[in-house]
Amino acid sequence: MRIDTSKFESAILASNLKCERKKSRVTIYGATGRSVIVPSGKSASIVFLVGFESKEHGAPAGKHTTGTVTQVLSWEGTEDEVLARFASLLTLLAALPAVEKVQRTAKPKADAPKGFSSAIPAADPAARKALIEKVAREKGVKVSPKANVNGANAAQ
């Protein structure tokens, strides 16, 4: 069953909730993180519940389940019953508290091994050059003759 979208307008206006009209939908906002979406157009066959669920108003979203949409408005009964359920849903939406933000905590950092450059003795340029050449042989790469094998501040 499809319902003329203009019939949802009276319930939306009566709810005094903030709404945003876009080309493809009308979003009715409740508390932070909660809203109801009605598709725009001549008629609608689905209304999305975003950020909350309702046993008396909702039905499983099925293939429309995405992110915070897990239910849609129950479309059972006559057109008048669906519109009354929608008006009741907006009253519920106005009474819901804001979604509680969950602060993510950073995982404790593992002890990182010392970097490659700190493993090279900086005080002894010959030892530094020997270590660089050894690693280059193990990796199968050549050390450029222009490479600064005497340490980062060797030119100074």
Q: Tell me the per-residue pLDDT of 67-86, one tens digit each, with 9 for 90 and over.
A: 788 899 989 999 999 999 99
Same domain, 80 and 134: no
Q: Are residues 74 and 124 in the same domain?
A: no
**Backbone torsion region of residue 68, taken as left when φ is above 0, otherwise alpha when ψ lies between -120 and 50, otherwise beta:** alpha
Q: What number is the average pLDDT over the span 19-25? A: 93
Nearest in space to 89 (alpha carbons), one of 44, 34, 139: 34
Residue 87 lies in a domain: yes
Residues 89 and 121 occupy one common structural domain:
no
pLDDT band at 156 (very low <50, low <70, confident <90, very high): very low
> Tens digits of per-residue pLDDT, 82-132?
999 999 999 999 998 988 877 778 777 766 555 555 555 566 777 777 888
What's the distance, Cα to Cα, between the start and end of the chain in Å?
82
Q: Are residues 11 and 46 in the same domain?
A: yes
What is the per-residue pLDDT for 121?
56
Residue 126 belongs to domain spanning:
116-149
Report the predicted TM-score, pTM, of the whole model to 2 decimal places.
Answer: 0.62
Q: How far apart are CA 25 and CA 39, in angstroms?
A: 4
Residues 73, 124: one domain?
no
Residues 71 and 129 in one domain: no
